[in-house]
Chains A and B, each alone.
Chain A
Amino acid sequence: MHRHTVMTMKRIIISAVAMAAFSASAKAFTLSLPEDIRYSVKLGYNIGGTAPLGIPATIRKMNRYKMQSNYSLAFDMQKQIKGRWGAMTGIKLENKGMEVDATVKNYHMSMVKGSSRLTGYYTGNTVIKAEEWALTLPIQATYTPAKNVLVRLGPYVSYVTSRKFDGYVYSGYLRENTPTGAKILMGDSESEGATFDFSDDMRHWQFGIDAGVDWYVYKRWGIYADLSWGFTNIFKKGFDTIEQKLYPIYGTVGVTYNLK
């Protein structure tokens, strides 16, 4: 009941914000002449991770980090409002993915499947693959410190269309319930170990803050960089398999082209 209400409220807020943003830009489009608005397309690449804020002591080591197909394709509309200040919105199709191999020690986990539950402490290696293809709507304030530079900051909302969070454990062991419980060894490879898939436990809506800078270096061409910091746990409420809340924190670098 409660959760449903919260969800509904969130949906209303999102819709309102989205509508406001779109109508504002639409209004700008019809009322002002096109030279007021700067349209640009951006193609970039996301680098980062979906990680807890502050690594707990139970996560010991990162053995491997593998780049994923983290492309970001964006269409932006920016308008100067007053002096050097302006506003920007747009739409972005992007992937925030990662594949990490980490070593953990005595990491508490609890898995629920249907009405069954498995809980315990895991020591050893784990491989996690995450993929979050999302449609993102940023709303940003812009500042122009120099003619060809645009600094941006503002919130974003993402709808994650394709969710994946899976992996396996290897070269380790689980202690059932407590560190004194039954010890179960995990094999040394993916086929001998246990696999997991928490994709269905991921949420669709994500919020966060994005800060970025566009730098037009040659005519209509420029380069840009962004840092987007997710404020919402990638998993749904009540999901406690993984002790910490995981937030997508990704940086983007790429090229931007000013359409006019």
Chain B
Amino acid sequence: MKLHKLFLLATVCCTLSACFKDEPANAECDIEKAWIHAENPQDMFYNLSDTLVNVLYTDNLITFDVKPQTDLTAIAPIFQVTPGATVSPASGSVQDFSHGPVTYKVKSEDGQWEREYYVYFNIVTRTETDTIRYDFEDFTINERHYYAWNHTLSRWDTGNGGYAMTGMATKYDPDQGKYVTDSMAFPTIPYADGYDGYAVKLTTQNTGAFGAMMNMRIAAGNLFIGAFDVSMAVTDAMKATRFGEPFDRTPSKFRGYYQYEPGEQYQDENGSTIADKTDQGDIYAVFYRNHNEANETIVLNGDDVKTSPYIVAIAQVTNIVPTNQWTEFEADFVFSEDIDQTLLNNRGYSLAIVFSSSVDGAYFKGAIGSTLLIDKVELICTDIQ
């Protein structure tokens, strides 16, 4: 009897706890942070906070914005990498960045995985043109198989990275015998029949079983100046949309062309249909101070993009109506405070332009199928004073 109990106890213990093996070496190999240690950072950077770049896990291009006249021939970036990972060339080694980006390879502790990063010093000069055009003709499919748009002046991003997590765009293809991701199945995609060349098509989509598991039943198509931080998409989706990029001119209005078609059934965050409610698109721009009183960087997100005390101007397009013709929209920036010219010159303001196929898409409310087409956007600035 005693022996039997002992045997039982031993088996249970061994199975459940005593047989834990040695901890495996880390498999990750990310550069999490990159920074420059400079004797006189104000000679090189507009803002002290520009000396540090928090690298998104989906990014492999690390950009330092620097002033003109910066000597790029001998700079020693310092990296914080995944514990145990090694970076080559070494963190803190002096490199020549005057010929463009320098490639760094990061190898995981277990030696099984490797990532390549490109460190680039972007010489930022004063924006000279008064009208900045966003035609959305320059786009690529990234390594995660969804579309991303490029622009020389502004970083545009979408929520496509979050949608990729739902697996809705990835299906088993019996012909190829493997899972294939359809780039055109994402909420934000190019649209060939634009006002002029390509437009962008934003569609509110069902996030399927995985979305429901995370209580995020729809994904609105969105497109905005800023960055989408996929890492926050599950815990705090509002924080994932990081709106705005530093901008050194005073915006006065923005305009462009749209088409809009609301989806048939409006649903709330629980997936329940709300009868008699029609979905609406959302088009707006905000201009805000990007540092607080303690000189910490401010980036607006889904929670405060229209309410933050740092906002100095909002341009909200108010009359988006269902239409299948290219229709012009326009909105003036309405200022709540005067622009500080010194702050403006030192890139102390950020600008975000935001498009969404469902106005409450950030709260996972809207109609599946709501479609907003956008093309030929122009941002008009007041003359340099």
Name A residues whose Cβ lies closer than 8 Å to a Cβ of B: 47-49, 51, 53-62, 65, 105-106, 111, 113-118, 121, 173, 175-176, 178-187, 192-196, 213, 215, 225, 227, 249, 251
Contact = CB atoms under 8 A, between A and B. Distances in A.
A215 B4 CA distance: 12
Interface string B152-180: 00000000010011111011100000010
Given A57-B21, A184-B165, A179 B28 contact: yes
B235 A182 contact: no
Contact of B233 (A58, A184, A192): A184
Contacts of A47: 12
Nearest to B233: A184
A179 B165 contact: no
Contact of A180 (B15, B115, B170): B115
Given A60-B20, A116-B167, A183-B30, A111 B210 contact: yes
B16 interface: yes
Given A114-B208, A173-B231, A105 B113 contact: no
B27 A116 contact: no
A114 B206 CA distance: 14
B49 to A, nearest CB: 23
Contacts of A184: 165, 230-231, 233-234
A47 B5 CA distance: 12
B170 A117 contact: yes
Given A48-B12, A176-B164, A176-B165, 9 more contacts: A49-B16, A62-B17, A116-B170, A117-B170, A181-B144, A182-B230, A215-B1, A225-B1, A249-B11
Contact of A186 (B12, B16, B235): B235
15 contacts: A48-B15, A51-B16, A55-B21, A57-B22, A60-B20, A116-B170, A117-B167, A118-B210, A176-B165, A179-B28, A183-B231, A187-B234, A187-B236, A193-B235, A249-B11
Interface in B1-56: 1, 4-5, 7-9, 11-12, 15-17, 19-24, 26-30
A51 B17 CA distance: 11
Contacts of B164: 176, 182
Nearest to B57: A183
Nearest to A61: B20
Interface residues of B, number: 52
Contacts, number: 133
Contacts of B170: 116-117
B213 interface: yes
A193 B115 CA distance: 28
B8 A113 contact: no
B321 interface: no
B28 A182 contact: no
A244 B115 CA distance: 28
A10 to B, nearest CB: 26
Contacts of B58: 182
Contacts of A116: 166-168, 170-171, 208-210
Interface in B347-378: none
Given A49-B15, A194-B214, A113 B167 contact: yes
Given A111-B210, A179-B28, A57 B23 contact: yes
Contacts of B23: 57, 60, 105
Contacts of A106: 24, 26-28
B108 interface: yes
Closest 3 CB pairs of A and B: A113-B209, A116-B167, A179-B27
A47 B16 CA distance: 11
Interface in B226-274: 230-236
A173 to B, nearest CB: 7
A16 B58 CA distance: 57
Contacts of A111: 167, 210
Contact of A179 (B5, B22, B108, B179): B108
Nearest to A173: B231
A144 B161 CA distance: 67
A203 B4 CA distance: 30
A95 to B, nearest CB: 17
A32 B179 CA distance: 63
Interface centre among A58, A61, A182 (most CB of B within 10 A): A182
Interface string B266-310: 000000000000000000000000000000000000000000000
A196 B167 contact: no
A185 B235 contact: yes
A185 B213 contact: no
A183 B230 contact: yes
A51 B15 contact: yes
Given A175-B28, A184-B165, A227 B20 contact: no
A73 B114 CA distance: 55
B341 to A, nearest CB: 40
Contacts of A185: 231-232, 234-235
B231 A118 contact: no
Contact of A49 (B12, B26, B30): B12
Contacts of A186: 234-235
B231 A179 contact: no
B8 to A, nearest CB: 4
Contacts of B144: 176, 181-182
A84 to B, nearest CB: 18
